[in-house]
């Protein structure tokens, strides 16, 4: 028995060696390429292209039917012109009452109402109290944006939801938030989920934890799987809160939309709203409540966003249709399975190319397989699966390319070995010249003659000074002389003007050679780099132009286009600098918030052109009555700020505020109209009021509103 085992071993070892010699390169190549692709993917380099193809799959997919359960009440441009902007509390209250009488299942108010907008505050509060199925919105504070509080009456009864969106690096929304931990430690529910839960509750469906993972939400038989940082094409994505990948129905216009004026003017029968989900929000492009989704882009067309209220309707529909209709959610593979998928296609590419041993046949097969991978993953996408496409195709093509390059190298080596025997009599393709120590040309190849444009006889008889411009010939002689006095190879960039007057940029490699008799020869090999030099010059010009454009864009980005004053971004920067300086110098900083009184009447009665001229005049007056070290900014609308760094005392800030009041109230005549404008000023002091920048701003803003409500045309300190 021992002899039989020994004999089997003798047969297995040679077979294993043969297998390794044949398949080893395929295995090494496929493993190396797959590892490189996975590494590149983990670095996030492939993420944008994978997102783009994922979005394209959405756009290729047939459009789904309109979800009739949801109706959008849009506040469009005509509504803004008719009822004003922002919509007053009275108009909003009337809208809610008329919708409520139609008995919808739930009403979602995707309109911020953290501050009263008179007239009609009492009427709106009454609507909030008497409509039990009303859900308002809030915006939770983020690193980039301040929070927007919900209506207080709705917050007390927990009739609110946040509308924060999880945007990707390209600004698109591919994920939705269900829950998030607020800064107060309480769990916040999204606007879309709040509405969906009310609707589903009437269907007898309540939220509960998933049996498989108690941390995941289950509605009916549908589990909303918690998004992980590396799901799908994502690499180290932020998974703050409870997120899930959304399967949007389509582009904008997916839901029935009714303008607000049709509701207020009783043009819509109650049956169109009864038992529906009503979502109220802006559909006016001027409000800029816009969101980009997978449907926003297209081939050869600009990105088209959807309105924020449409996005909320999409998210509501996603939740409800997944629970009631069995509509699929986006699902992904575990990361190890994705790695195995990438390695598998890498092995296929290497194995096929090794077997074919023909670049042309291999290329044709690889193209067909990449089309097949794309088609297969698209069919899987229709079933709700997001499978990596770009990494799989990249691994396939990469491993095939390595094997093809290997065979091409072997073929090239064979060809060079065959041609080497003929190289003695063949013409060398690069322009080559050989000179002696007296700078006389002794050997020239045909490529040199063709490049320079003279016959061989002329070139051999004449010196460089007779063939080329004087400065070129002198430089050639200097470079040749330097090569004769050194022992190492040199390469220099030069200019050469041929017989036709065309100037070429060349790179000349010069080296010294000695024959058996001790004769010294200079061999020069010329390479035409004209295209490269022209490209470099163009790139330098482009770089200079970009530098100038970037400087102009920075100035434009930091200043208000109407008044030329610093905008909100530069105001924040200047205020931070003033506070840092005041801290180091133990000085005071005064922040003044200004709001023009009754500016809306100027716009309404005299037109926006006069209003814009008035804003410019106010900006000029503010700059004219302050020090050069003070900063005047326009935050937007009729709101201005003034930063007084190094102010000696609170009384000095009051003196400046009074000076501003007197300056603003001066008579103003614009386009024949005599205008009397006043302002209200709020003042906060650093560090006496607060040492926090954001709090300093809020205190000044609050003081300004107190001044406005107290009597206008006066100033108020935050500390008072």
Over residues 124-172, the pLDDT tens digits come to 999 999 999 999 999 998 878 888 999 999 989 999 999 999 999 989 9
φ and ψ of 375, to 5 deg: -65, -40
What pLDDT, on a 0 to 100 scale, did the predictor assign at position 428? Answer: 66
- The DSSP output letter for 33 is H
**Helix, strand or coil, per DSSP, at residue 184:** coil
Over residues 541-585, the pLDDT tens digits come to 877 777 776 666 666 678 888 888 998 888 999 999 999 998 988
Most confident of 121-130, 522-531, 666-675: 121-130
Which residue has better confidence, 12 or 240? Answer: 240
- pLDDT of 37: 94
The backbone region for 174, taken as left when phi is positive above 0, alpha when psi lies in -120 to 50, beta otherwise, is: alpha
Plot region of 253 (φ>0 → left; ψ -120 to 50 → alpha; else → beta): left
Task: Name residue, tokens 């003070």.
Answer: 630
Structure confidence at residue 19 (pLDDT)? 54
Asked whether residue 437 carries a pLDDT value surpassing 90, the answer given is no
Looking at residues 691-710, what average pLDDT do you find?
A: 91
For residue 235, pLDDT over 50 is answered with: yes
Give CA–CA dist 498/568, Å, rounded: 60
Determine the Cα–Cα distance for residues 90 and 95; give it in Å rounded to an integer. 9
Q: Give the residue-averaged pLDDT of 642-670.
A: 90
Non-local (6+) Cβ contacts of 149 within 8 A are: 114, 138, 155
Identify any residues that bridge with 643 across adjacent strands, giving them in sequence order: 591, 631
Residue 512's pLDDT is what?
85
Q: Which residue has the higher pLDDT, 356 or 230?
A: 230
Percent of the chain predicted with pLDDT > 90: 50
Confidence band (pLDDT; 50, 70, 90) for 420? very low
* Separation between Cα atoms, residue 532 and residue 528, nearest integer Å: 9
Q: Binning pLDDT at 50, 70 and 90, where does residue 1 land? A: very low
Q: What is the percent of the chain with per-residue pLDDT over 70, rounded to a whole number?
A: 92
Q: Which CATH number fits domain 429-533: 1.10.10.10, 3.30.420.270, 3.30.450.20, 2.40.50.140?
A: 3.30.450.20
Q: In the predicted model, is pLDDT for residue 482 greater than 80?
A: yes
Q: Are strands 222-224 and 166-167 parallel, antiparallel or unpaired?
A: unpaired
Annotated domain spans of the chain: 23-57+333-410, 68-329, 429-533, 559-717
Largest Cα–Cα separation, the chain: 118
The whole-number average pLDDT for the span 493-502 is 88
d(CA 661, CA 678): 7
Of 143-152, 208-217, 288-297, 534-543, the poorest mean pLDDT is in 534-543
At 17, is the pLDDT very low, low, confident or very high (cuts 50, 70, 90)?
A: low
**Integer Rg of the chain from CA:** 38
Does pLDDT of 92 surpass 50? yes
Assign residue 638 a region: left if phi > 0, alpha if psi is -120 to 50, beta otherwise? alpha
Report which listed range, 145-149, 199-203, 602-606, is most confident.
199-203
Q: β-pairing, 678-686 with 331-332?
A: unpaired
- Rounded mean pLDDT, 604-617: 88
* Alpha-carbon span 327 to 345, nearest angstrom: 31
Distance CA 623, CA 626 (A): 6
Range with the lowest mean pLDDT among 141-150, 334-343, 426-435? 426-435
The predicted model gives 375-385 an average pLDDT of 94
**Prior bond to 265 cis, omega within 30?**
no
Place of tokens 């070139």: 459
Q: pLDDT at position 191, please? A: 96
CATH 3.50.50.60 fits 559-717, yes or no: no
Averaged pLDDT, 689-703: 92
Pairing of strands 257-259, 668-670: unpaired
Q: Which of 25-34, 85-94, 400-409, 488-497 has the highest mean pLDDT?
A: 85-94
> Mean pLDDT over all residues of the chain?
87
pLDDT at 82 over 80: yes
| Minimum mean pLDDT range among 22-31, 188-197, 635-644 | 22-31
CB-based burial, 639-669: b 16+ in 10 Å, e otherwise: bbbbbbbebeebeebeebbeebbeebeeebe
| Environment class of 63 (CB within 10 Å of its CB; exposed 0-12, middle 13-18, buried 19+) | exposed
Q: What's the average model confidence in pLDDT over 521-525?
A: 83
Q: How many CA atoms lie within 13 A of 69 on its CB side?
A: 17
Q: Are 326 and 220 in contact (CB under 8 A)?
A: no
Mean pLDDT of 460-471: 88
pTM, two decimal places: 0.56
Mean of pLDDT values over 266-285: 94
Q: Which of 499, 497, 475, 479 is nearest to 489 (CA)?
A: 479
């Amino acid at each position: 028995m021992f002899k039989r085992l020994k004999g089997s071993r003798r047969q297995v070892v040679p077979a294993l060696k043969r297998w390794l010699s044949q398949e080893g390169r395929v295995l090494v190549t496929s493993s190396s390429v797959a590892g490189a692709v996975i590494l590149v993917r983990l670095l996030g380099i492939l993420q944008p292209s994978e997102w783009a193809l994922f979005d394209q799959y959405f756009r290729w997919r047939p459009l789904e039917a309109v979800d009739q359960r949801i109706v959008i009440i849009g506040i469009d441009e005509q509504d803004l012109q008719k009822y004003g902007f922002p919509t007053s509390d009275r108009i909003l209250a009337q809208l809610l009452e008329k919708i409520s009488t139609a008995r919808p299942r739930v009403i979602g108010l995707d309109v911020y109402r953290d501050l009263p907008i008179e007239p009609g505050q009492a009427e709106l509060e009454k609507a909030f109290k008497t409509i039990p199925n009303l859900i308002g919105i809030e915006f939770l504070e983020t690193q980039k944006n301040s929070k927007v509080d919900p209506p207080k009456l709705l917050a007390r009864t927990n009739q609110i939801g946040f509308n924060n969106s999880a945007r990707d690096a390209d600004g698109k929304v591919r994920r939705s938030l269900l829950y998030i931990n607020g800064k107060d430690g309480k769990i916040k529910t999204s606007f879309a989920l709040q509405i969906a839960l009310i609707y589903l509750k009437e269907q007898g469906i309540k939220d509960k934890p998933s049996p498989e993972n108690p941390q995941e939400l289950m509605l009916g038989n549908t589990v909303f799987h918690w998004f992980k940082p590396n799901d799908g094409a994502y690499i180290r994505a932020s998974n703050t809160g409870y997120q899930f990948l959304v399967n949007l129905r389509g582009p904008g216009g997916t839901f029935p939309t009714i303008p607000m004026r049709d509701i207020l003017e009783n043009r819509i029968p109650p049956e169109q709203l009864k038992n529906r989900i009503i979502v109220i929000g802006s559909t006016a492009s001027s409000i800029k409540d816009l969101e980009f989704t997978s449907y926003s882009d297209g081939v050869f067309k600009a990105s088209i966003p959807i309105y924020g209220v449409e996005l909320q309707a999409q998210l509501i529909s996603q939740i409800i249709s997944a629970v009631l209709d069995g509509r699929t959610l986006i699902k992904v593979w575990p990361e190890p399975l994705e790695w195995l998928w990438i390695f598998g296609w890498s092995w296929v590419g290497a194995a096929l190319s090794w077997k074919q041993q023909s670049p042309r046949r291999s290329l044709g097969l690889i193209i067909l397989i990449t089309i097949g991978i794309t088609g297969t993953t698209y069919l899987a996408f229709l079933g709700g699966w997001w499978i990596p496409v770009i990494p799989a195709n990249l691994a396939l093509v990469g491993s095939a390319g390595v094997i093809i390059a290997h065979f091409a190298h072997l073929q090239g080596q064979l060809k060079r070995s065959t041609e080497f025997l003929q190289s003695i009599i063949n013409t060398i393709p690069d322009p080559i010249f050989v000179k002696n120590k007296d700078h006389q040309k002794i050997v020239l190849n045909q490529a040199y003659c063709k490049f320079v444009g003279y016959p061989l006889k002329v070139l051999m008889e004449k010196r460089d000074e007779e063939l080329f411009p004087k400065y070129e010939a002198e430089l050639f002689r200097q470079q040749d002389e330097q090569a004769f006095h050194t022992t190492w190879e040199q390469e220099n960039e030069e200019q050469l003007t041929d017989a036709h007057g065309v100037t070429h940029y060349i790179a000349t490699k010069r080296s010294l050679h000695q024959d058996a008799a001790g004769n010294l020869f200079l061999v020069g090999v010329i390479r035409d780099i004209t295209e490269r030099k022209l490209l470099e010059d163009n790139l330098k010009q482009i770089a200079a132009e970009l530098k100038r454009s970037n400087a102009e864009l920075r100035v434009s980005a930091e200043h208000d286009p109407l008044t030329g004053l610093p905008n909100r971004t530069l105001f924040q920067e200047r205020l931070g600098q003033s506070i840092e300086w005041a801290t180091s110098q133990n000085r005071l900083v005064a922040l003044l918030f200004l709001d023009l009184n009754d500016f809306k009447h100027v716009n309404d009665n005299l037109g926006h052109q006069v209003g814009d001229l008035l804003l410019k005049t106010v900006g000029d007056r503010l700059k004219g009555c302050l020090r050069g070290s003070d900063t005047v900014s326009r935050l937007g609308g009729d709101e201005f700020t003034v930063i007084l760094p190094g102010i000696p005392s609170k009384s000095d800030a009051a003196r400046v505020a009074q000076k501003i009041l007197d300056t603003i109230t001066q008579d103003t005549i614009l386009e024949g109209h005599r205008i009397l404008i006043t302002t209200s000023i709020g003042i906060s002091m650093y560090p006496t009021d607060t040492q926090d920048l954001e709090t300093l701003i809020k205190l000044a803003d609050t003081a300004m509103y107190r001044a406005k409500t107290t009597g206008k045309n006066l100033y108020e300190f935050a500390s008072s």
